[in-house]
Amino acid sequence: MNDFQKTAKEMLDFIEKSPTCFHAVVNIGAMLEEAGYVRLRENEEWKLVKGGKYYTERNDSSVIAFVIPEKEVGIRGFHMAAAHSDSPCFKIKEKPELTVEEHYLRLNTEKYGGMILSTWLDRPLSIAGRLAVKNGNGIEGRLVNIDRDLCVIPNVAIHMNREMNKGVEYNPQVDLLPLLADVSFDEYDAHTTYDAQNASENAEEQPVSYTHLTLPTKLEV
């Protein structure tokens, strides 16, 4: 494997492990610490030294890393590189369960970022992001990355839209809500309540916010 192939594989592995900006920041932080960077927290006093390597995070969704020069002589500026930690996705709204004819369960979502809407149809989707969880110590964030197919945004059959092949203008709030299950809402609600309680390390922990769950080829929470 040459250097180009190695770099490409490392990038693909990083993308696979970073379905949302929250996961990307965690993974970047681990890479920085492995490279000798020290994390600085915004609620603590920073004690910087010459030649030191540091990084800090904000809202668990952005990270800034920098190096202090060892010598002050001859410094005329600094080099800066920046990149997005987020990507286009469908964000899952609060209380997202929508029932269709008391039989199908869909998720209420909103699109985030610039995307080619048609590429999201008829492909397996999953859920990743951050949950706000209430426990005995207050409210804290928990990362979620469900590594299996959960949802799909289906195309309608051709006899329901004979003009399909002439081009379609999608309404995200009507045409692009993901289908989650083919069970009734009551059955789904009972199962998810049970699973949420048993998946928690602490029986008292309950999710209180889904505001950052998304569908990035996984939906984002």
Cβ contact 180:107 at 8 Å: yes
Q: What is the pLDDT of residue 162?
A: 86
| Sequence-separated contacts (24+) of 5-8 with Cβ below 8 Å | none
Amino acid at 123: R
Say how far apart CA 82 and CA 152 lie, in whole Å: 33
Say how far apart CA 84 and CA 45 lie, in whole Å: 28
Neighbouring residues of 37: CB distance < 8 A, sequence distance ≥ 6: 53, 54, 55, 65
- pLDDT in tens for each of the 221 residues of the chain? 889 999 999 999 999 999 999 999 999 999 999 999 999 999 999 999 999 999 999 989 999 999 998 887 777 788 889 998 888 899 998 888 888 877 888 999 999 989 899 999 999 999 999 988 888 888 888 899 988 888 899 988 888 888 888 888 899 988 999 998 765 445 545 444 334 334 444 445 554 444 445 555 656 66
Q: Domain 88-221 class?
A: mainly beta
Neighbouring residues of 17: CB distance < 8 A, sequence distance ≥ 6: 23, 27
- pTM, rounded to two decimals: 0.78
- Among 156, 128, 159, 157, smallest CA distance to 143 is for 128
- Among 108, 114, 86, smallest CA distance to 153 is for 108
Q: What is the pLDDT of residue 32?
A: 97
Alpha-carbon distance values, 106 to 91, 143, 206, 214 (Å): 13, 23, 22, 14
Q: What is the pLDDT of residue 76?
A: 78
126-135/104-112 β-pairing? unpaired
Cβ contact 133:208 at 8 Å: yes
> Per-domain residue ranges for the chain?
1-86, 88-221
Neighbouring residues of 143: CB distance < 8 A, sequence distance ≥ 6: 22, 23, 26, 129, 130, 131
Q: What is the pLDDT of residue 208?
A: 46
